[in-house]
Amino acid sequence: MNSYLLLALAIVAEVIATSSLKASQDFTRLLPSVLVVAGYVSAFFLLMQVMKTMPVGIAYAIWCGAGIVLVTLIASVLYRQLPDLAAWLGIGLIVAGVAVIQLFSKMQTH
């Protein structure tokens, strides 16, 4: 399967897990707790598969950067945690950094 598709699935699984942490209320609510555990197990399994063909630094940068952006957007909708200008600036820098790594890095898998 395509590494980028697996990476996208890993990102979605991680975002679901992270977004469910608050709703799990210290793992006292069953459904959000199951989403947290299943999401993280799935995310790390998929990320492990991706790293067989993609350099660790590139895979992790994309995974983290996309996760930060998506979790921030979800938290702003679900939990009304609205980012301020400094937060958006920081997120923009993260996205720019991931783009630089993806577009210009010559890292290879050995």
The reply to whether 9 falls in a domain is yes
Question: What total of structural domains would you count in the chain?
Answer: 1
Domain of 92 in residue numbering reads as 3-104
Q: What is the pTM of this model?
A: 0.88
| Count of C-beta atoms within a 10 Å radius of residue 16 | 19
For residue 56, give the amino acid letter: V
Assigned token pair, 22: 């608050």
Give dist(CA 19, CA 79) in Å, integer: 10
Q: What is the per-residue pLDDT across 82-101, written as a single tens digit (0 to 9) for each?
A: 999 999 999 999 999 988 98
For residue 51, give the nearest of 105, 9, 6 by alpha carbon.
Answer: 6
For residue 70, give the amino acid letter: L
Q: What is the per-residue pLDDT across 9-65, written as a single tens digit (0 to 9) for each?
A: 999 999 999 999 999 999 999 999 999 999 999 999 999 999 999 999 889 999 999
Indicate whether 108 pLDDT > 70: no
Under the banding of pLDDT at 50, 70 and 90, the label for residue 110 is: low
Q: If you search the block for the tokens 């998929």, which residue do you land on?
A: 46
- DSSP annotation of 27: T
Please give the pLDDT value at position 11.
98
| Count of C-beta atoms within a 10 Å radius of residue 48 | 12
Indicate whether 102 pLDDT > 90: no
Contact 57, 105 (CB under 8 A): yes
The reply to whether 109 falls in a domain is no
